[in-house]
Structure 1
Amino acid sequence: MYYIFKDLFFPPVNEADEEGILAIGGDLSSERLQLAYKSGIFPWFNEGEPILWWSPDPRMVLFLDELIVSKSMRNILNRNQFKITFNKNFAAVISNCQKIKRDGQSGTWISNEMIDAYCNLHEIGVAKSVEVWQDEVLVGGLYGIDLGHVFCGESMFSKVSNASKVAFIALVEYLKRGNYKLLDCQVYNPHLESLGCREIDREEFISILKSE
């Protein structure tokens, strides 16, 4: 495992260990985070621990044309019970992602340090959010890193049933209109698989990432 200090550097992703951990240390500066995402790397660590940098193999992704929208979900969308916005309240979205309780998790990896770092990226137009509203109340959303041809999803939350799915579907439709190549979802989970996401080799993911 590589130890990162002040230099703006990451080792080749194929040097990550079996879990996908590539390096430890460094900081969450906007410059380092942008280099990481452009290289197929992301930070993921618990509060109070050193920064861990990951590049897992395989990689969970969504090819946009493979999105699965169930019949019941289409009915929900057609009822227009939710309002969707983009980048209207990034800080509220990431804050809710930090606070929401998740099955099987006792805490969150989204520390206040992470929130500050991603809000800084939002201010320069790199980190973006999708908000889902019901009766003018924020009930769901997601955020991630926009690389222009690949969107790297980070986290999503839902306070009412299906709100995060609405955000996810809205993001995919937005990416389709912009001719994006891929939505990066990082690591496998069954919820993402139900929406059409699948695992691909890291080598294939990096190849798509580099094909701007």
Structure 2
Amino acid sequence: MPLEPPPTPWALPGPDRFDPDDDLVAMGADLEPGTLLAAYRSGLFPMPSGPAGLGRRRGAIAWFSPVRRGVLPLEGLVVSRSLRRSCRDYEIRLDTAFDDVVSACADPRRPGSWIHRDIRRGYGRLHELGWAHSVEAWADGELVGGLYGVAIGGLFAGESMFHRRRDASKAALVGLVELMRDDHAERRVLDVQWRTDHLASLGVVEIDRDSYLTRLSQALPLPLPAPFDDGVRGHL
């Protein structure tokens, strides 16, 4: 059972204050566990602004609620024959190497790398409290792919994924979807932030912001998938 941290002292913006044409909805605040959880519960997620131009002020935290949100319907996951074969090559584990997964996702050699030290620290603290999780692909005793994100009720907010062997991150995603397919699967939300061509090939679709917020409000009261709630760590 995740532990609830102290509440955030920040007043996060609600939908009535969102610019209808801008994914970026706020700047500032912090990455404390209470702030991160309040943000996800409000449909927001953070990214650093920095010199890459994601925000308006250098060094401030940028908070996004995309006008067009990428989500993966659990029944819509596309598993090709080649991916199905690849899945047999990997052992899928939950929460056995969270810090290693985040470190691999944060590798500065990766194109578009954005996960800096404060992001890693913030999500590491969420993991310690039972809110952030890693789904990992292992082969020959080696971590070769995976993803991490935040689970709140019926929401899993995916943050990043990586692979070192063919289809390893996709195999981890297949494992996550299987984990979320339970009696509440129809109302669960697997959020991937933005749709990309790569994610679309796996079944990710776009929905408008209002639809996402409606679905989020219906998902949050749901119980966590059993492995997340029970603190299970190991082979799925």
Matched, 1:30 2:37: no
- Matched AA of 1:24: M
1:19 alignment partner, SS class: coil
1:183 alignment partner, SS class: strand
Structure 1 stretches of 4+ moved >6 Å: none
Structure 2, unmatched stretches of 5+, are: 1-7, 51-57, 222-236
Matched, 1:204 2:224: no
Superposed, 1:59-74 pairs within 5 Å as: 59-74=69-84
Superposed, 1:139-154 pairs within 5 Å as: 139-154=144-159
State the alpha-carbon separation in 2 of the partners of residues 95 and 179 from structure 1: 32
Matched, 1:131 2:133: no
State the alpha-carbon separation in 2 of the partners of residues 21 and 46 from structure 1: 11
Matched, 1:99 2:104: no
Map of 2:201 onto structure 1 = 194
Alpha-carbon spacing, 1:189–1:76, altered in 2? closer, same or farther (3 Å): same
- Any idea what the Cα deviations from partners look like across 1:133-190, whole Å, max 9, x if unmatched? 1100110000000012010000000011100000111101101136341200111211
- Matched AA of 2:82: S
Deviation of 1:9 after TM superposition, in Å, equals 1.4
1:60 alignment partner, SS class: strand
- Matched AA of 2:206: E
Deviation of 1:100 after TM superposition, in Å, equals 6.2
State the alpha-carbon separation in 2 of the partners of residues 129 and 32 from structure 1: 20
1:33–1:42 contact (8 Å) kept in structure 2: yes
Q: Which of residues 7, 10, 25 is equivalent to 1:8?
A: 10
How large is the RMSD of aligned CA atoms in angstroms?
1.6
State the alpha-carbon separation in 2 of the partners of residues 154 and 178 from structure 1: 25
Map of 1:120 onto structure 2 = 125
1:100–1:157 contact (8 Å) kept in structure 2: no
1:72 alignment partner, SS class: helix
Deviation of 1:118 after TM superposition, in Å, equals 0.2
1:24–1:53 contact (8 Å) kept in structure 2: yes
Count of matched residue positions in the alignment of Structure 1 and Structure 2: 202
- Any idea what the Cα deviations from partners look like across 1:187-210, whole Å, max 9, x if unmatched? 121111000010001111111111
2:184 alignment partner, SS class: coil
State the alpha-carbon separation in 2 of the partners of residues 113 and 8 from structure 1: 18
Normalising by the residue count of structure 2, what TM-score does the alignment of the two structures yield?
Answer: 0.81
Matched, 1:19 2:26: no
Deviation of 1:81 after TM superposition, in Å, equals 1.5
2:181 alignment partner, SS class: helix
State the alpha-carbon separation in 1 of the partners of residues 191 and 45 from structure 2: 11
Alpha-carbon spacing, 1:138–1:55, altered in 2? closer, same or farther (3 Å): same
Map of 1:156 onto structure 2 = 161
Normalising by the residue count of structure 1, what TM-score does the alignment of the two structures yield?
Answer: 0.90
Superposed, 1:84-95 pairs within 5 Å as: 84-95=92-103
Alpha-carbon spacing, 1:128–1:31, altered in 2? closer, same or farther (3 Å): same
Map of 1:57 onto structure 2 = 67
Structure 1, unmatched stretches of 5+, are: 1-5
State the alpha-carbon separation in 1 of the partners of residues 119 and 197 from structure 2: 25
Deviation of 1:11 after TM superposition, in Å, equals 1.1
- Any idea what the Cα deviations from partners look like across 1:112-135, whole Å, max 9, x if unmatched? 110000000000110011111110
